[in-house]
Structures are given as structure tokens and as C-alpha cells.
Amino acid sequence: MAAETSANAKAYKTAVIKIGSNTLTDDEGKCDRAYLADLAHQVARVRREGWRVIIVSSGAIPCGLEALGLPLRRPDDMPTVQAAASVGQRALLAAYDQVFSPYGMLTSLVLLTRRDTADRNAYLHARDTFRRLVELNAVPIVNENDTVSVEQIKFGDNDTLAALVACLANADRVVILSDIDGLYTSNPKTDPSARLIKRVDRITPEILAGASGAGSAVGSGGMITKLTSARVLGAAGIPLVICSGRAEDAVVRSLADDPIGTLFTGADVPHEITPRKLWIALGDSVKGTLLVDAGAARAIVEDGASLLAVGVKNVEGEFEAEDVVDVVDEAGFVIARGLARCSAESMRSGKADIAVHRDELILFE
Ligand SMILES: Nc1ncnc2c1ncn2[C@@H]1O[C@H](COP(=O)(O)OP(=O)(O)O)[C@@H](O)[C@H]1O
Ligand SMILES: N[C@@H](CCC(=O)OP(=O)(O)O)C(=O)O
């Protein structure tokens, strides 16, 4: 496959396609090779239409359990989970290779933990590598490095990882292939009156209130992590489609603007998301919450100002300076995420001046 030069780097669009474990496995919980073959066919089609594709694939753990002949449900002990991920990641990549190579598509493997994008240098390396892989026309298969991930450096779900990869790769669209056919007004598995929402221009408090966690023993994150990812992608101006991975031609339709699932349109005027801001948004875990008054909320959202401590009405959680905190408005809606300039204790004691500097604040609104 010929490598492209950077001179024609804009001749294609980049899609990040995230495939959940439920989508990738059959009813018994085994890797569904027929499904992967259909996926490869679809990827080959969209590539002919000018898309370059990065796949964020779950499924290492179930595929490892299958290969090891272990019961096909998530083990309780971490060493078995991590060993299964190690065996399964290899098996999964072999399965991808088998279905992609007949189309002349070359796969690559990228396994990440939070640590790999945690400092600016590591982040920039990851960004450059993704962009180069896409330029070289490879199909990167990305997953969390479950074999070495421990709690402190875990993304924990591939929805977050997909959003991070999309921002790193400067993607034009993200598709989440899920076990559900889109975002509903509430979880349809527990609420029969839930309705599918076909288009979302803004993620409102009502939409967030209707989202809950994973709906199966295999999936992780559920709709909550998808919506957090959607907000970051929205701020970056990257549209997202969430649809059923099992719907016919799901990938082709999602990239062809043929209505399917739920489309999150993203901001018309994207915020500039610097590497540091992206890391704040997705790279670290949130340690506390700052509830701000209406004036402070307006100042940060409308004027792009820093968050001053006088505007913070309540500080929740115990955090130190440089920890990640959510900024919520008086209704409890998360409007931004940022790095605390000082500890929770100093904010409560009124000693602080700036609570979060604007260069370290990512706005979701
Ligand atoms: N508002 C909602 N709309 C749709 N699904 C929801 C909602 N709230 C929670 N869910 C749950 O999220 C699940 C999808 O996420 P998840 O379990 O992580 O699977 P996957 O990895 O296949 O995407 C759905 O099966 C559903 O049970
Ligand atoms: N990294 C794990 C999957 C984690 C995950 O997010 O799963 P899912 O919610 O099914 O997309 C694996 O490869 O099995």
C-alpha cells in the first residue's frame, strides 16, 4: 500500500469507529468472526469513498476467555482478567488481520493506558503516531492495554478512549457501534416508554438525567461514558453517531449521513482543544466538584474567563492543586472541567484567588 505524502494529507477524512464487546461477540460470548468479516467489507467500502479508519475495539477479555477455554463471563480476579486480555488481544488482532487482509488493508496495533497521554510529551508522540499511521493508510486497531492497566492508569471504558483517539487524530467523525440502536430518553432496557432521540445539537441536563450505566455484564460504561465523550467531541466540533453495531451497513450509513441511530452534531464553532485541555477532559479521573453561581458560569462560558474563587459556592471532594475537577452550575449541570489551581481545603477556607485558570478549563457548553 503506497504511503501518502503530507502534501495530499487533506484528501481524505478520518473516522474513528468504536466497537463494543457485545457487538463483537455472539450470543455465547465468543468472538463473532462473521460479524468481523462484514465489518471489514464495510470498512473497505468507506475507504473507497475517501475515509481513513481507526478502529477502537473492545473484546480482548471475552476473546481471551474463549481462547483459554475459561467460562465466558468476566472473572472476579484481576490476574485472570489481565491474562485473558493478553491472550485475547493477540487472538482479536489475528481475527482482524484475517478479515482485513483480503481487501489489502494493513492493520496496526495500538494499546494505550492513561499514562501514555498523561504528559504533554507522551501526548504529542501519540498524536503524531496516529496521524502518521492514518497517513500511511494503515488501519490502527486500538484498545486499552488491559494486561498492564491498574486502577490508577485505567480509562476503564473504550468510549472515553475513542473520544481521546479522535481528538488526537483530528478525526472528522466518530461512530460508536453499540448493543443499543442509539440514545434514548431513558434506558430502554428498564423503561418501556423510552424514545429514541435521532439528533442532538446540545446535550442538555434532561438528556444526561436519562442516561445510565452499562446494560449488560459484558459492556462497561453504558450511556454515561458515551455522553461524556459526546460532550468533549462536541466541544471539539467532531460529530458522533451512536448506533447498533448489528444494524445493516451501520458503518457505511453512519459515514454517509444516511440517518441511523443518534447523531450528535457537535459545535459549529469548535473550541480550540489544546493537548493540555484534552488531557484534562479525558486523560485523568475527576477528583472533585466546584458548584459556581450564575455570574461565574456566565463569565467562563460566555466571556472565556478564568473561574475565580469568589464565584465558587460549594466545593465537593478532597483534591490537591493540579487535580481535575468538574465545574457545575446551580442546577447541578456540568458545564466545564478543569485543573484546580489549589487544594479543596484552600478553596473552602477562602484563601484562593483563581480557582481554575482559563487555559486549564475545557468548556462543554
Ligand atoms: N438513555 C439511554 N439510552 C440508551 N441506552 C442506555 C441509556 N441509559 C443507559 N443505557 C444502556 O447503555 C447500554 C449501552 O452501553 P454498554 O453497555 O457500554 O454497551 P456497548 O459497549 O455495546 O456500547 C445500553 O444497552 C443500555 O442498557
Ligand atoms: N478493553 C476491554 C473492553 C472495555 C470496554 O469498554 O468494553 P465495552 O463497553 O464493551 O466497549 C476489552 O478489550 O475487553
Given the C-alpha cell 443518534, which residue does it identify?
262
CB contact set of 72 (below 8 Å; sequence gap of 6+): 28, 29, 30, 62, 65, 66
Residues framing ligand 2 (Cβ under 6 A)? 20-22, 58-61, 143-144, 146, 157-158, 218-221
pLDDT digits (tens, 9 = 90+) for 268-313: 878 777 878 888 888 778 899 999 999 999 999 999 999 999 999 9
pLDDT at 4: 43
Residue 323, annotated as binding a ligand: no
Whether the pLDDT of residue 8 is over 70: the answer is no
**In the chain, which residues fall in CATH 2.30.130.10?**
286-363
Residues of the chain with CATH 3.40.1160.10: 6-264
Helices (H), 58-185: 60-68, 78-100, 120-135, 158-168
pTM, 2 dp: 0.92
The residue whose CA has the least distance to atom 27 of ligand 1 is: 215
Grid coordinates representing 146 are 488491559
Domain 286-363: give its CATH code.
2.30.130.10
ipTM at complex level: 0.97
Q: What's the mean pLDDT in 225-238?
A: 93
Q: Is 8 annotated as a binding residue?
A: no
Protein residue with least CA distance to atom 9, ligand 1: 212
Residue minimizing CA distance to atom 2 of ligand 2: 58
- The candidate with the shortest Cα–Cα distance to 185, out of 176, 195, 177, 198, is 195
Q: Is 57 annotated as a binding residue?
A: no
User: Does domain 6-264 sit in CATH 3.90.320.10?
Assistant: no
209 Cα: distance to centroid of ligand 2 (angstroms): 24
Quick one: cell of 350?
477562602
Q: How confident is the model at residue 6 (pLDDT cuts 50, 70, 90)?
A: very low
Is 225 one of the annotated binding-site residues? yes
Dihedral angle, C-alpha 82, 83, 88, 91, nearest 10 ° = 140
Q: What is the distance in A from the centroid of ligand 2 to the CA of 343?
A: 34
The rounded distance, in Å, linking the Cα atoms of 359 and 338 is 9
Quote the crossing angle between the two packed helices 60-68 and 78-100, to the nearest 10°.
Answer: 100
DSSP secondary structure string, 236-263?
HT--EEEEETTSTTHHHHHHTT---SEE
335 pLDDT band, cuts 50/70/90, is very high
